[in-house]
């Protein structure tokens, strides 16, 4: 339809202008059905969102207001902004103003409902600010709730579901298992495996046995390949400054996220493989 819509020139040839070409290029994106992202729907269905009380945080009050909005509109509020597109200035400004006006109206509706919910809970009206609601609505599709766990709980688990990870040959989970085995090796022998050159081969057997016991305790039938265990023993506890710098930067990024309450933090376990320059995160 788009390709047939331009009027022909004096020679009967249809030339697609830039905005027509752009429309064709983005057609698959535009015709996607509008739906609530699964991570946002999980928040709206969360017990903390449905059953509010006087101890509920402003975030959950806003989520409750958003939940009612979604139930009526079956969509999230507009961001109020448009991406760059091929158009004349007046048309683009007019279209942008329409989106901003609609986004403003939706934000005000959620703000009023949030204040009403807060009032019914006996909370101070100051806990919800209009600027906060605007920011909340603008990024509604990017909301995430992460409930972390204590690292002690991870070590106290008698079983970890690692089979599916180890079945994937590209999974970095084997690093986690070898490092857990390394910790147990150090606690038993008070030294890193392979710390001395003539200890490498004997320590490979010891570490492999320890890792085998760990996997057995976790009810995992998979095994770690010998060359991976050998590599841990070969480096003898050495630390490369380049790897330490990268991981230090990652830790600094996470600290900034928590201090500023912005962006999505890593959840649970993060693994970085400097050999392949790949990384992965796991919830254990």
Predicted TM-score of the model (pTM): 0.74
CA-wise closest residue to 271 among 207, 176, 185, 178: 176
How much is the pLDDT for 118?
Answer: 94
Record the tokens describing residue 250, joined without a space: 């990652």
How much is the pLDDT for 148?
Answer: 84
Spatial distance between the Cα atoms of 162 and 222, rounded to a whole number of angstroms: 9
| Domain locations in the chain as residue ranges | 33-142, 151-282
CA-wise closest residue to 114 among 100, 88, 96, 134: 134
CA-wise closest residue to 76 among 136, 134, 36, 27: 36
Domain 151-282 carries which CATH code?
3.40.50.720
Mean pLDDT of 64-72: 95
Flag whether pLDDT at 230 surpasses 80: yes
Mean pLDDT of 159-180: 83
- Crossing angle between the packed helical segments 89-120 and 130-138, to the nearest 10 degrees: 120
How much is the pLDDT for 218?
Answer: 85
How much is the pLDDT for 283?
Answer: 84
Phi-psi region of 194 (alpha: psi -120 to 50; beta: other; left: phi over 0): left
pLDDT band at 76 (very low <50, low <70, confident <90, very high): very high
Pick from 59-63, 64-68, 85-89: least confident = 85-89
Flag whether pLDDT at 204 surpasses 80: yes
pLDDT band at 140 (very low <50, low <70, confident <90, very high): very high
Record the tokens describing residue 112, joined without a space: 């009023």
Mean pLDDT of 171-179: 91
């Amino acid at each position: 339809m788009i390709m047939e819509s331009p009027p022909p020139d004096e020679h009967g040839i249809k030339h697609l202008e830039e905005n027509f070409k752009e429309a064709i290029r983005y057609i698959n994106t535009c015709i996607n059905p509008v739906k609530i992202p699964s991570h946002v729907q999980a928040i709206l269905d969360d017990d903390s969102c449905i059953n509010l009380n006087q101890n509920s945080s402003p975030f959950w009050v806003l989520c409750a207001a958003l939940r009612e909005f979604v139930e009526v509109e079956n969509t999230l509020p507009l961001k109020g902004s448009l991406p760059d597109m091929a158009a004349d200035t007046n048309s683009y400004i007019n279209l942008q103003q329409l989106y901003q006006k609609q986004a403003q109206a939706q934000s005000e509706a959620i703000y009023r409902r949030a204040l009403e919910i807060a009032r019914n809970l006996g909370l101070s009206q100051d806990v919800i600010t209009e600027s906060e609601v605007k920011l909340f609505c603008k990024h509604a599709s990017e909301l995430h709730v992460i409930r972390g766990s204590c690292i002690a709980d991870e070590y106290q688990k008698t079983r970890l579901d690692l089979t599916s990870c180890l079945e994937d040959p590209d999974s970095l989970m084997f690093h986690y298992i070898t490092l857990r085995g390394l910790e147990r090796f150090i606690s038993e022998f008070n030294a890193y495996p392979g710390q001395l050159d003539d200890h490498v081969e004997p320590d490979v057997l010891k570490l492999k046995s320890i890792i085998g016991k760990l996997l057995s305790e976790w009810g995992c039938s998979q095994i770690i390949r010998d060359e991976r265990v050998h590599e841990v023993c070969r480096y003898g506890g050495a630390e490369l400054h380049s790897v330490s710098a990268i991981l230090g930067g990652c830790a600094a990024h996470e600290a900034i996220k928590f201090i500023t309450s912005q962006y999505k933090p890593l959840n649970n376990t993060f693994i970085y493989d400097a050999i392949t320059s790949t990384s992965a995160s796991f919830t254990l």
